[in-house]
Chains A and B, each alone.
Chain A
Amino acid sequence: MRLAPAGSVPRPDTTASLAETERLASTLVRVLDEEGRALGPWNPHLDAADLQVGLRHMVLTRRFDDRMQRIQRQGRISFYMKSTGEEAVSVAGAMALRPDDMLFPSYRNQGLHIARGRSLVDLMCQCLSNTRDMCKGRQMPVMYHWASGNIFSISGNLATQFPQAVGWAMAAALKGEDRLASSWIGEGSSAEADFHHGLTFAAVYQAPVILNLVNNQWAISTFQGFAGGEHGTFAARGPGYGIAGIRVDGNDFLAVYAVTQWAAERARRGAGPTLIEHVTYRAGAHSTSDDPSRYRPQEEWQAFPLGDPIERLERHLIALGEWSAERQERLQKEMDAHVAECWKESVRFGTLTEGPSLDPATMFEDVFKEMPQHLVRQRRELKTLLGG
């Protein structure tokens, strides 16, 4: 893997021409060094309080993931997908944007919801398909959405959100709104045509959009080479389309924040879209249905040169004199307690196997805005079958 020392990459102006940004696509923007010092022109100079908020969101995301994984193993939810090792990508990515910017996530972006302050009870109830499920039992676990929080729905068909985000951004520009869209895709699903459509449309219409490619090294069982990452960087595809591309250390909270901030300012100043490749590592299995020991060495994450995003931000805060091992332990305990409390509250609304449960007849709602006759008839038939 090609690395670059922290602080070594120059930061062009946000309105720089494509040619002036081209080096960013092949190098690696890093701010935090091994000792936890923030170096170089990409240092976003965040207040210690903001850094602590970021750390808190990342720890909460990880503890939430761990708990949900255990709950799935107990058979209380059908499926789960952890984002362990990738927390900085979502948390810093959300924190660097405005609350009214629209986010089009992939399935491993739960940190976006958490960074935007979503109640864990909402997320848990979705995973439980219970009476408080935002999706009314229609989606597998983790396929969240949040209209009032400006987070779009997650599709099980990968990459579809990428060109949709571009269309959303085109509409924002057309309406004269100062809002941008940001979308996330995995390096694996960047092989889909939707990725190409997203970049083409973003370039043609100079849409105010940030296109994030999360290179966590692994699709399900195939390494990033199977998506074409062995012979060039994914970020370098940006300039190929006429879009600025930046390759960033995705486990460096400060670097992700700074690069997102740069891309957002570029979009808001009308200088066009940006493709950001976040280099990170999927520390867990693809999902609870996956067994990574069958295709990769167990200790690979330990050998991954970019480390753990939580430990690195923690080390930085300690270096600043704004954190300690004791505070970290206290934070983890607090987050665990919060997760446990939210779980207790969530199961009050039912689980997939135990009541209270949704009325199955609701499955006929929302196919169309108004229910057509054939669905009214089918609903009646189901109600009769169920003895309603």
Chain B
Amino acid sequence: MPQMNMVQAVNSALDVMLGRDPAVVIMGEDIGYFGGVFRCTDGLQRKYGEARVIDTPIAEGGIVAAAIGMGVNGLRPVAEIQFADYVYPAFDQIVSELARLRYRTAGEFSAAVTVRMPCGGGIRGGQTHSQSPEGIFTHVCGIKVVMPSNPYDAKGLLVSSIEDDDPVIFFEPKRLYNGPFDGDWHKPAVPWSTHPKGEVPADHYRIALSRAQIVRAGSDVTILTYGTMVHVAEAAVRLAEVDAEIIDLRTLVPLDLDAVCTSVCKTGRCVVVHEATRFSGFGAELSASVQEECFWHLQAPIQRVTGWDTPYPHAFEWEYFPGPNRIVSALKTVMEVV
């Protein structure tokens, strides 16, 4: 089976979908002739032409609006926002238009648009190239929100997102583009070829949206996480030497609540981990849902490990990033309660 990093897996998903479905078009800033600033669309314009692999003006609001119009006219556009941090000019088109078009027209109009964007820190991007704004979008009714943690999932989830008739916001943790990252920035980078999820079929396959995955089975505590933090959580579990069950949510909306509750009811403890800021973050939703559904099984208060409630600072990136030590500390806290 071919080895791919996450950039190649995203590229492969787009390639497969452009090849299979003439309605698929991709669009964004620098994505065509140049192949994308992260190379996710490399070679696709040469292969499919300028009409289907479309370089756009620097106008995120215009990109999403045009994608909506194309979707209404029967195309299946995949729009790239160059960094998740740049999505805000498109906020009205996503929240008020894309998310609600099916609803406001009682199903007469809809637009099957996928909006891809790299997110997360760890690349010295400072406060405008490091954000994880997924919680802003999970709060909006009518859009699905996806964040893969490895190349295999990235391709299968992106194919499913493009094929889905509802709009999808697809977050790509950019620190994972070239290799799994366990949170220790002192260590040399590890390529995806060393990881089993770096094996990616060249052909079409899907991973169903709203299905979480147990990446490590365990019995003492459940870690709910997604994206880059899946790998950081794995490292933390090795350090803490606890028998934790790690759940990679993969899709945040719709949430696989059954998988979450089954695990927490089994382990009786829960730690929620995400890179995004804490206050009103997606972890708050997870924590509240677990409390509602699993209260009588819980043996300790739920812990959250997140980015601090500050912008992402350039100079203090690793003091900001919720690394393995903070997760270890949270695991110890929940395990200390008898």
On A, residues with C-beta under 8 Å from B are 102, 104, 134-136, 138-139, 143, 145-147, 152-153, 155, 157, 160, 162-172, 174-175, 181, 193-194, 196-198, 200-201, 204, 365-369, 372-374
Shortest distance between the CB of A369 and any CB in chain B (Å): 5
| Nearest residue, chain A, Cβ from B255 | A374
A130–chain B nearest beta-carbon distance, Å: 13
Question: Is B92's CB under 8 angstroms from A163's CB?
Answer: no
CB distance from A274 to the nearest CB of B (A): 17
Candidates A155, A170, A200; contact of B70 at CB < 8 Å: A170
A139 touches B104 (CB 8 A): yes
By a CB distance below 8 angstroms, the chain A residues around B103 are: 138, 366-367
Q: Are A164 and B104 in contact, CB atoms less than 8 angstroms apart?
A: no
Residue in B56, B71, B72 with the greatest tally of chain A CB atoms within 10 Å: B72
Is the CB–CB distance between B93 and A160 below 8 Å?
Answer: yes
The distance in angstroms between the C-alpha atoms of A172 and B74, with both chains bound, is 9
Q: How far is the CA of A145 from the CA of B61 in the complex (A)?
A: 23
Neighbouring B residues of A139 by C-beta, 8 Å: 104
- Measured CB to CB, the nearest residue on chain A to B210 is A372
B108 x A174 contact (CB < 8 A): no
Binary per-residue interface labels of chain B (11-30) against chain A in the complex, 1 for a CB within 8 Å, 0 otherwise: 00000000000000100000
The 8 A CB mask of B84-116 against A (1 = contact, 0 = none) is 000001001100110001111111111000000
Q: Are A369 and B166 in contact (CB under 8 A)?
A: yes
- Name which residue of chain B comes closest to A104, CB basis: B69
Complex CA distance for A296 and B71, rounded to whole angstroms: 42
Q: B105: which of A147, A368, A373 is its contact (CB, 8 Å)?
A: A147
B66 interface residue, CB < 8 Å from A? yes
Can you list 15 A-B contacts with CB-CB less than 8 angstroms, sorted by A residue number?
A: A136-B106, A138-B106, A153-B109, A157-B96, A166-B65, A167-B65, A174-B70, A194-B92, A197-B62, A200-B62, A365-B107, A367-B142, A373-B254, A373-B258, A374-B255
Asked if residues A147 and B254 are in contact (CB atoms below 8 Å), the reply is no
Cross-chain contact A369 with B61 (CB below 8 angstroms): no
Which B residues are closer than 8 A to A by beta carbons?
Answer: 25, 51-52, 56-57, 59, 61-62, 65-75, 77, 89, 92-93, 96-97, 101-110, 141-142, 144, 165-166, 210, 253-255, 257-258
What residues on A are CB-neighbors of B67 within 8 Å? 167
Q: Is the Cβ of A368 less than 8 Å from the Cβ of B142?
A: yes
Assess whether A201 is in contact with B70, with CB atoms less than 8 Å apart. Answer: no
User: Does B57 contact A174, Cβ atoms closer than 8 Å?
Assistant: no
Report yes or no: A194 in contact with B73, Cβ–Cβ below 8 A.
no
| Residue from B51, B61, B101, B166 within 8 A of A197 (CB atoms) | B61
Q: In the complex, how many angstroms separate the beta carbon of B50 from the nearest chain A beta carbon?
A: 10
> Chain B residues near A194 (CB, 8 Å)?
61-62, 65, 92-93
In angstroms, Cα B73 to Cα A372, docked, is 26
Contact (Cβ within 8 A) A160 B65: yes
B65: A residues at CB distance < 8 A = 160, 162-164, 166-167, 194, 197-198, 201
Would you give the shortest CB distance from B90 to chain A, in whole angstroms? Answer: 10
Beta-carbon contact of B92 and A157 below 8 Å: yes
Give the complex CA separation of A102 and B74 in angstroms: 13
- Considering only CB atoms, which chain B residue lies closest to A147 in the complex? B108
Query: Please, which residue of chain B has its CB at the minimum distance from the CB of A148?
Result: B108
In the complex, what distance in Å separates the CA atom of A89 from the CA atom of B62?
Answer: 26
